Amino acid sequence: MACFAIFTLAVILLSTDVFCGKNDPYEPEFDYQKLVIKQLHDMEESGKNRDGEFEKRKEEMYKLLKNLKDTKATINTLKEDLEMLDAQGYRGVSTFTRWGHTECGGDAEIVYSGYMGGSYFSYTGSGSNYVCLTSEPIYNEYTASAATIGWMYGVEYMLGHGFDSHDAPCVVCRIPRNSVIMIPGTNQCNEGWKLEYRGYLASQAYNQQNKKYICLDERPQSIPNSSAKQNGAYLYLVEGRCPSLHSPPYINNYELTCAVCSFTSQD
């Protein structure tokens, strides 16, 4: 409307000789009249452009406000979910490996089960830890050759009591608690902690390749039909050596126990 009014005013002014005071179209003032009309036309177009830019900015603002509203709704939903989980006592989850067993027990759920693996007992290379290999391997590209690469062997018990040379199983467990630790030297958990399983500290023999200490279940199981001695990685119980190991409380040549314990933080 404003632009139309400006244009109308220009026509009226020009038609009444406001700009030149004459009616002769050949006078120089006629060029000036055309210039004024052009400027007024440009002003009208500029107003249209500004109106269009305003509408564009307004539309962008509405989109931002809508996104902000949606984000706030999502935050409120997440907050309600967290409050519900807090009310149910949910504080997170954690996982642990139960060495020498195929079941988790208690309220723990099985993530996967499989076979203990490690590097050859007398080799100095490859990994220095035991791993829990899945019982359902999936291969990608491979080269079937025995080149200079890392090797993975099965783990055999060297415990006596009819367990020698049997292959060791394992299971990875998930629990609804956010902290889990292995405590070497005891088969009990601290007050407020939950016992997941207890057992004996185990590793390879002192004169073999170093292996990480693990907590072997106190009632170890074995993989069926695996009693033949194949060599590979070994698993021995660990004894304390005093007086290098402080005595008391530790006793020389006693097998060391262990406990896997979990805890739910209230923070």
What would the two tokens of residue 239 be? 């004894």
- Count CB atoms within 10 A of the CB of residue 32: 12
Q: Left (φ > 0), alpha (ψ -120 to 50) or beta: where does 192 sit?
A: left
pLDDT, position 127: 73
Q: Are 169 and 226 contacting, i.e. CB atoms less than 8 angstroms apart?
A: no
pLDDT, position 148: 67
pLDDT tens per residue across span 57-98? 777 777 887 888 888 888 988 887 777 666 655 567 899 999
Q: Is the pTM of this model over 0.85?
A: no
pLDDT, position 26: 46
In angstroms, the CA 92 to CA 223 distance is: 33
Contacts of 100 (CB under 8 A, 6+ apart): 116, 157, 168, 169, 170, 199, 202, 216, 217, 220, 221, 235
Contacts of 249 (CB under 8 A, 6+ apart): none
Output DSSP code: residue 190. Answer: P
pLDDT, greater one: 227 or 180: 180
